[in-house]
């Protein structure tokens, strides 16, 4: 539940609401100490999530609160037991009246347990399904005290527009019998004595733009109460061509003058309202209309240099929206929760303004960029770090993220991909619910903070890519609200489909075949590259940029020429003014289509999460499609990743779901082996934040997109810190050693033992690792005899026998090269490459060694069918290859017993040596 979100149905000021209300009450002027019946008409709800409530006959519940102030928290007091939004709240069970109308009767003071000394001023209410997955918007119901009160029942709007010649039926009520007076423009037209209601029929006349003020007053011997509304005859805008040079949005003409331009086809008239005219409709601020009828514009003069002005467009007299191109917005419902430390001196909207407004400011100070000669890393050498500002440091701000840049530089990444930072609904989000595409979300800080973050990244050799979301927009995007049929975008929307053409969309689906959408996307892409000096984009759900309908992914992913043309058009536009900006697609279409884009210089996400999770767990896995060659690409445009924000964490999955029982230390070792394979494959790579520390919190903790715990203390854990350092060393090799860009590669990545060979004219590199849960004997590691170097152990290996056998413990890996690389820190991995002296065949192992009971909680007994004249040496290794037990037995004819009660649960490898012969067998400690 969000707090204090909407006043009935998305009002722009207290004097204007939409023509119908979601909630009505009986009595019409409810009091907190009397029974009140709340009646909801769900057909009038605005929240898109409310659609799932339509047609229900049960499983609808009230979620509510009471407030004791006129403008404060309407959910201040909540009924006992209302704690879990995802469960039914029986006390709030609604009664169906049919036709999607629901009711409930309650006495507010008792229902919400509000102290007797406090007056109930407002109720905050919404309806939801039992599981909380469907809900209306939050709605405010005004409560009245025991004094004399009055209200208009017809009309209920405080200010509205009508066509010339209209007749307005009026019904006004008072809470007590009184002398009632109705006046129009301060002239009394009706008086009734000792009555509690009156009716009247108002003919508004024919004067376009004329406003009539209707006032209702009730008077007793001791009290007077008054209310009023304004009705205006729809105006006729002046037709005038848009001055040359003006474009949609805010145009700064001088330090005292702006021109505002709104593309709004099929709308009748638009008023400009804001700080400069006390948020009132005024003929002076009726916007001019271009001859084609599509665009409204107006110049505003007499402004103070450097002062922020909030404003809205009042469209057709019924809907107030911000500017779709605004670079800053103010949100009366969510800005109050942004701390002054994150965003100092944030301007506050007047209390009367209840919906999002835009801001313009002449004479703004210009950010001075420290780094003006940044050179972007080559695409094939990119190490991208996907980063979510909210979950990266304690206060989720750009400021604290700046302080972490040295950590990222030491890691060695050369590109940060920021999850969406333009304004989204609320303050707490992944950002895939965008509402204003040109405005950085204030929840993370000021625009200067964002620019400083980007500047500091560039200063440290790190590019910055923005994740942009143009498959969908949320309801508060002006072009969704302006063309809305009550439950979905209207059929005349210049930008949106009524329903998504594919099964993977959320919120509201852009029509990318519309030239209006293309113009808007191109403007946004140009804006961020020029204004914020970002280095490119990751395009979310780019596969959705199609009007071709599909019901499943087997249809959706097939080559789509229209989608190709649309994406190429956006890319060509970017490259027309920024010739080397990155353009990364989250596409997942068939290889043929992805190759079309990589041939042009774009990059595509390549998801290997499932295979890397399986490999670390010891299950079957295949890394083959890490290579761009496996996709049939000519260029290394496949950005492979082990994790992304959309996938489960590798370490979490290994610790929770492996067949073996792993310790954190074992998972870190196995993740090192995975990283060695991952970084070795030529082409760009991506890390999801904290994967380098073995972050092991589930994607579903606190909800899939909910806040996750921030564990910077992981750096103080020795095993996790070694993983970070191994990542860093592997990244350093990849970004500094030319052979890691080699096009001459051989790979065997589909088995439990995986191998990569990189070749150049002067050098060879081999990466080999065992991802099984058992020790493996590996032959044919080396393609050539001679001297080789083991990178992490800094050992020289003289290879004379290409058929030599090498025992690899589970998780053991090696990076081997014919020339030595710069030496890494010692002891980052426990492995050394050693040849076996003699190793029995698999048949011999099964026949010659017996362990029982297996699994065991306390002891294991070992019998060896070997040479009884030679002593036995027993060694037990954990899955990291460490020796945790060793002993010798002289009498080989008798079983040997080992106490395993102190061993941790898990899989172990028993190695028995007898003379020149070795036996190996695994056992499980329960």
What are the structure tokens assigned to 695, written together? 């972050």
Query: Domain for residue 271, yes or no?
Result: yes
pLDDT band at residue 230 using 50, 70 and 90 as cut-offs: very high
For residue 853, whether the previous peptide bond is cis, meaning omega lies within 30 degrees of 0, is yes
Task: State the CB neighbour count (10 A cutoff) for residue 734.
Answer: 23
Q: How far apart are CA 471 and CA 467, in angstroms?
A: 12
Query: Domain for residue 349, yes or no?
Result: yes
How confident is the model at residue 16, as a pLDDT?
Answer: 32
Query: Domain for residue 660, yes or no?
Result: yes
How confident is the model at residue 402, as a pLDDT?
Answer: 98
Query: Domain for residue 494, yes or no?
Result: no
Residues 431 and 563 grouped into a single domain: yes
CB of 801 within 8 A of CB of 777? Answer: no
Question: pLDDT of 394-435, one tens digit each?
Answer: 999 999 999 999 999 999 999 999 999 999 999 999 999 999
At a CB cut-off of 8 Å and minimum separation 6, what does 297 contact? 242, 243, 246, 259, 260, 261, 262, 287, 288, 290
Give me the helix-helix angle, 515-531 and 561-575, nearest 10°.
30
Domain limits for position 528: 380-473+513-735
What are the structure tokens assigned to 796, written together? 């020289």
For residue 679, whether the previous peptide bond is cis, meaning omega lies within 30 degrees of 0, is no
Closest by CA position to 388, among listed 68, 37, 42, 687: 687
Q: How far apart are CA 289 and CA 325, in angstroms?
A: 19
Residues 792 and 866 grouped into a single domain: no
Residues 394 and 527 grouped into a single domain: yes
Residues 344 and 405 grouped into a single domain: no
Dihedral angle of Cα 239, 241, 246, 251, to the nearest 10 degrees? -20
What are the structure tokens assigned to 428, written together? 């707490």
How confident is the model at residue 807, as a pLDDT?
Answer: 92
Residues 700 and 773 grouped into a single domain: no
Residues 529 and 607 grouped into a single domain: yes
Residues 572 and 650 grouped into a single domain: yes
Residues 601 and 715 grouped into a single domain: yes
CB of 362 within 8 A of CB of 18? Answer: no
- Number of domains into which the chain is organized: 6
Query: Domain for residue 201, yes or no?
Result: yes
Query: Domain for residue 566, yes or no?
Result: yes
Convert 844-875 to b/e letters by CB count within 10 Å (16 or more is b): beeebbebeeeebeeebebebebeeeeebebb
Mean pLDDT value of segment 810-823: 96
Mean pLDDT value of segment 525-529: 98
Question: pLDDT of 636-656, one tens digit each?
Answer: 999 999 999 999 999 999 999
The DSSP output letter for 50 is G
Task: State the CB neighbour count (10 A cutoff) for residue 198.
Answer: 18
3-class secondary structure, 93? strand
Q: Where residue 162 sits, what CATH number does that domain have?
A: 2.60.40.10
Residue 736 confidence (pLDDT) above 90: yes
Residue finishing a domain among 735, 750, 775: 735
Query: Domain for residue 7, yes or no?
Result: no
pLDDT band at residue 10 using 50, 70 and 90 as cut-offs: very low
Q: How far apart are CA 850 and CA 693, in angstroms?
A: 39
Give me the helix-helix angle, 718-736 and 664-680, nearest 10°.
0
Residue finishing a domain among 112, 142, 172: 142
Question: pLDDT of 737-762, one tens digit each?
Answer: 999 999 999 999 999 999 999 999 99
Residues 791 and 753 grouped into a single domain: yes
Kind and range of the H or E run holding 655: helix 650-657
Residue finishing a domain among 327, 361, 395: 361
Residues 212 and 322 grouped into a single domain: no
Q: Where residue 883 sits, what CATH number does that domain have?
A: 2.60.40.3080
Query: Domain for residue 30, yes or no?
Result: yes
Residues 623 and 675 grouped into a single domain: yes
Query: Where is average pLDDT lowest: 394-408, 581-595, 749-763, 912-926?
Result: 912-926
Question: pLDDT of 836-856, one tens digit each?
Answer: 754 333 434 444 788 888 878
Q: How far apart are CA 741 and CA 726, in angstroms?
A: 19
Q: How far apart are CA 770 and CA 774, in angstroms?
A: 9
Residues 539 and 645 grouped into a single domain: yes
């Amino acid at each position: 539940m969000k707090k204090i979100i909407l006043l009935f149905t998305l009002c722009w000021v207290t004097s204007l609401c939409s023509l119908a209300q979601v909630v009505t009450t009986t009595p019409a002027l409810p009091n907190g100490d009397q029974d009140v019946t709340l009646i909801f008409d769900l057909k009038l709800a605005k929240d898109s999530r409310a659609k799932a409530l339509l047609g229900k006959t049960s499983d609808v519940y009230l979620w509510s609160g009471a407030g004791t102030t006129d403008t404060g928290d309407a959910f201040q007091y909540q009924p006992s037991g209302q704690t879990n939004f995802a469960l039914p709240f029986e006390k709030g069970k609604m009664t169906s009246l049919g036709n999607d109308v629901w009711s409930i009767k309650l006495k507010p003071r008792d229902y919400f347990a509000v102290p007797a000394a406090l007056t109930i001023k407002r109720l905050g209410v919404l309806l939801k399904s039992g599981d909380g997955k469907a809900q209306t918007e939050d709605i405010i119901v005004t409560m009245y005290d025991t004094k004399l009160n009055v209200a208009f029942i017809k009309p209920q709007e405080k200010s509205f527009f009508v066509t010339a010649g209209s007749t307005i039926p009026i019904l006004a009520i008072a809470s007590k019998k009184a002398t009632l007076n109705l006046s129009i423009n301060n002239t009394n037209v009706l008086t009734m004595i000792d009555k509690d209601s009156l009716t009247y029929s108002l003919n508004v006349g024919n004067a376009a733009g004329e406003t009539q003020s209707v006032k209702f007053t009730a008077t007793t011997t001791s009290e007077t109460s008054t209310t009023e509304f304004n009705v205006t005859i729809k105006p006729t805008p002046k037709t005038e061509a848009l001055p040359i040079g003006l474009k949609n949005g805010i145009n700064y003409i001088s330090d005292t003058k702006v021109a505002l331009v709104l593309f709004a086809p099929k709308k009748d008239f638009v008023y400009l309202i804001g700080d400069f005219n006390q948020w009132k409709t005024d003929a002076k601020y009726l916007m001019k209309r271009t001859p084609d009828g599509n665009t409204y514009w107006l110049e505003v003069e007499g402004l103070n240099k450097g002062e922020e002005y909030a404003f809205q467009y009042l469209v057709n007299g019924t809907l107030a929206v911000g500017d779709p191109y605004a670079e800053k917005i103010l949100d009366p419902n969510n800005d109050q929760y942004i701390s002054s430390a994150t965003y100092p001196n944030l301007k506050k909207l007047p209390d009367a303004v209840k919906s999002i407004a835009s801001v313009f400011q002449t004479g703004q100070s210009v950010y001075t960029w420290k780094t003006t000669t940044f050179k972007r890393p080559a695409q094939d050498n990119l190490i991208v770090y996907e980063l979510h500002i909210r979950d990266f440091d304690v206060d989720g701000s750009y400021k604290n993220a700046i302080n972490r840049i040295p950590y990222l530089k030491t890691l060695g990444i050369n590109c940060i991909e920021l999850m969406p930072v333009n304004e989204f609904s609320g303050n707490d989000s992944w950002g895939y619910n965008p509402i204003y595409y040109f405005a950085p979300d204030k929840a993370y800080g000021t625009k200067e903070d964002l620019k400083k973050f980007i500047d500091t990244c560039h200063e440290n050799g790190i590019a910055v890519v923005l994740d942009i979301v143009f498959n969908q927009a949320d309801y508060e995007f002006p072009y969704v609200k302006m063309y809305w049929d009550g439950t979905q975008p209207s059929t005349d929307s210049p930008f949106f489909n009524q329903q998504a053409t594919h099964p993977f969309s959320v919120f509201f689906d852009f029509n990318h075949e519309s030239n209006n959408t293309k113009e808007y996307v191109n403007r946004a892409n140009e804006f961020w590259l020029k204004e914020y000096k970002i280095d490119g984009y990751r395009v979310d759900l780019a596969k959705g940029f199609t009007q071709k309908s599909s019901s499943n992914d087997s249809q959706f992913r097939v080559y789509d020429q229209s989608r190709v043309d649309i994406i190429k058009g956006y890319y060509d536009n970017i490259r027309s003014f920024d010739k080397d900006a990155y353009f990364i697609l989250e596409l997942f279409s068939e290889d043929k289509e992805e190759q079309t884009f990589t041939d042009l210089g774009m990059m595509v996400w390549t998801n290997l999460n499932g295979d890397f999770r399986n490999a670390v767990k010891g299950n079957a896995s295949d890394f083959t499609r890490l290579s761009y060659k496996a996709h049939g690409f000519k260029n290394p445009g496949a950005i492979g990743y082990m994790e992304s924000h959309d996938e489960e964490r590798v370490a979490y999955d290994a610790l929770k779901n492996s067949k073996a029982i792993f310790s954190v230390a074992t998972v870190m070792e196995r993740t090192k082996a995975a990283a060695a394979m991952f970084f070795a494959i030529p082409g760009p790579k991506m890390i999801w934040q904290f994967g380098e520390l073995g972050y092991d919190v589930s994607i579903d903790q606190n909800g899939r997109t909910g806040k996750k715990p921030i564990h910077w203390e992981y750096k103080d854990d020795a095993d996790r810190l070694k993983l970070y350092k191994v990542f860093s060393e592997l990244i350093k090799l990849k970004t500094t050693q030319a052979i890691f860009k080699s096009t001459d590669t051989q790979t065997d990545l589909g088995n439990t033992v995986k191998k990569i060979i990189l070749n150049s004219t002067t050098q060879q590199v081999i990466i080999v690792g065992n991802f099984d849960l058992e020790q493996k004997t590996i032959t044919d590691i080396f393609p050539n005899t001679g001297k080789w170097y083991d990178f992490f152990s800094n050992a020289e290996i003289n290879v004379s026998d290409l058929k030599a056998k090498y025992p690899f413990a589970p998780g053991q890996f090696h990076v081997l090269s014919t020339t030595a690389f710069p030496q890494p820190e010692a002891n980052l991995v426990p492995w050394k490459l050693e040849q076996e002296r003699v190793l029995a065949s698999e048949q011999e192992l099964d026949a010659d060694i017996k362990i029982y009971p297996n699994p065991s909680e306390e002891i294991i007994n070992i019998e060896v069918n070997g040479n009884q004249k030679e002593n036995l040496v027993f060694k037990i290794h954990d899955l990291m290859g460490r020796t945790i037990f060793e002993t010798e037995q002289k009498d080989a004819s008798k079983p040997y017993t080992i106490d395993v009660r102190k061993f941790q649960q898990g899989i172990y490898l028993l190695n028995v040596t007898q003379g020149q012969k070795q036996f190996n067998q695994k056992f499980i400690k329960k």
